[in-house]
Amino acid sequence: MFDANRNDLVLGIVGAGLMGRGIAQIAAQAGLKVLMHDARADAATEACESVGLTLSALAAKGKIDPAAASAAAARISVADTLRQLAACDIVIEAIVEKLDAKRELFERLEAVVGGDCVLVTNTSSLAVTSIAAACRQPERVAGFHFFSPVPLMKIVEVIDGVLTAPAVGDALMALARRMGHTPVRAKDTPGFIVNHAGRGYLTESLRIVGEGIADFPAVDRILRSAVGFRLGPFELLDLTGLDVSHPVMESIYDQYYQEPRYRPSPIARQRLAAGLLGRKSGRGFYIYVEGKALAPAQPAVPAAEPVPLWIAPCALPARDALLARLQAAGVALDGGERPAAGSVCIVLPLGEDTTTAALALGLDATRTVAVDPLFLSAHATLMTTPVTTAKVRDAAWAALAASGLAVDVIHDSPGFITQRVLAMIVNIACDIAQQRVATAEDIDRAVTLGLGYPKGPLALADALGAATVLQILDALHAFYRDPRYRPSPWLIRRARLGVSLLTPEN
């Protein structure tokens, strides 16, 4: 097994595209000798020149030392044939995402490299075990999944196939650290950690739109403003491109034998068929002009006649905070035990829709609205029943806006938008931990670095309260009667025990 810290370590890279170039750059900067090969004539030469220019540009900007940049560039050279990779200690494959092509390459590499050379794949969606099955020595084959752009995305998944020798994964973990990246270790399962964990954010948001609860811009605004995601789900899909994202959704769904948690949406399939790929096609969920999205303006706050607001009693701290905010803004409040005949009724449900909450409290559904109690610092999601009158909706909307909150109005949905999406994100992460795909710490680390979420999903659940997340999922499951929302055993047990979702098994 190679020593990741050896000064004379030789790394081969097959595939001189964007991913291969990024890996070559960070490896050369870490002091490794790099040999690049590509099946297309001149592609490896172009890649070496491109990496050299990138290193020079970084030096010119003062981000790296000029001498270090020159030395790194000098460590990268072209291998015109696979045979020139014979002396490599490790070879990374970064070619097209086709199983047959990868298997054929690994068979050819085995005929060239030494018996102790480690062969790794940068696949993002194919099974490492299936690739290794073509090899005489599958124990030396593993996954080493980088994210693009490699120099900036400081995360790499180290994937153990069913037959991968543990020492191979150990050596790759050390090599990743030498190359300045944070490694996380995963078993060979569909989507590994990051692509697996990312299913909840996208598929649940698509489902919300598919139910007519809110439109694309509203879902994006709410998840950005209320929760703190850097990009809304539809902005993210436009950035990645539906030609990339939708096949991954379908692949993970099918590889898990149609597990309902990963169910894709016909909305994405239809828009992909229409060529609405996103930024790359100039139109996706948004229209792009000179690379900028033309997002519709948020609806204006209505001019509504003031009506007293009655806030339903509940044990959540959000109720007192909302009352204080409305009082400070001079909003008329109804402080009775039951709402007066002319008051707007506001409920603060967890996991339930407005209709269910109104009926449970014996309220008039025509004058009842709900406010999401989980995220009320600067944004309010206002939810109506199917029969809430426009006068009631607008009065509540105007009052919340007068208190300094940005307001989005949505149709009735159990769990609003934030509760649904976050509960799905947490539940999938819990099931990744339950399946022992990765440790709880590595799941949070991978999602934070790989997807840019404000917190790892398990830490996020701890902040909300595991029991709260479980309550939301139970309510969603009861309402929809869909196994998509069944809670993971990892979540159920830790919520019942009152311990952190990051708590490992003893």
Catalytic residue among 37, 122, 124, 246: 124
- Show the tokens assigned to 472: 């939301």
Identify whether 157 is a catalytic site residue.
yes
Residue closest to 455 by CA, chosen among 447, 181, 490, 376: 447
Location of structure tokens 């790499």: 156
CB contact burial 408-427 (16+ within 10 A = b; e otherwise): bbbbbbbbbbbbbbbbbbbb
Identify whether 441 is a catalytic site residue.
no
- Residue 91 near residue 10 (C-beta atoms within 8 A): no
β-strand pairing of 309-311 with 406-410: unpaired
Task: Transcribe 230-287 into DSSP letters.
Answer: SS-HHHHHHHH-HHHHHHHHHHHHHHTTS-GGG---HHHHHHHHTT--BGGGTBSSSB
Location of structure tokens 């005489």: 136
CB contact burial 457-484 (16+ within 10 A = b; e otherwise): bbbbbbebebebbbbbbbbbbebeeeeb
- Residue 500 near residue 433 (C-beta atoms within 8 A): no
Q: Which residues 6+ apart lie within 8 Å of 260 measured at CB? A: 482, 483, 484
Catalytic residue among 93, 157, 235, 352: 157
What gap in Å lies between CA 493 and CA 488, rounded to an integer? 9
- Show the tokens assigned to 391: 């006068």
Q: CB-side exposure of 286: number of CA atoms within 13 Å?
A: 24
What gap in Å lies between CA 203 and CA 249, rounded to an integer? 8
The number of residues in the chain equals 506
Identify whether 195 is a catalytic site residue.
yes
What gap in Å lies between CA 463 and CA 406, rounded to an integer? 23
Identify whether 77 is a catalytic site residue.
no
- Show the tokens assigned to 481: 């009667």
Residues forming the active site: 124, 145, 157, 195
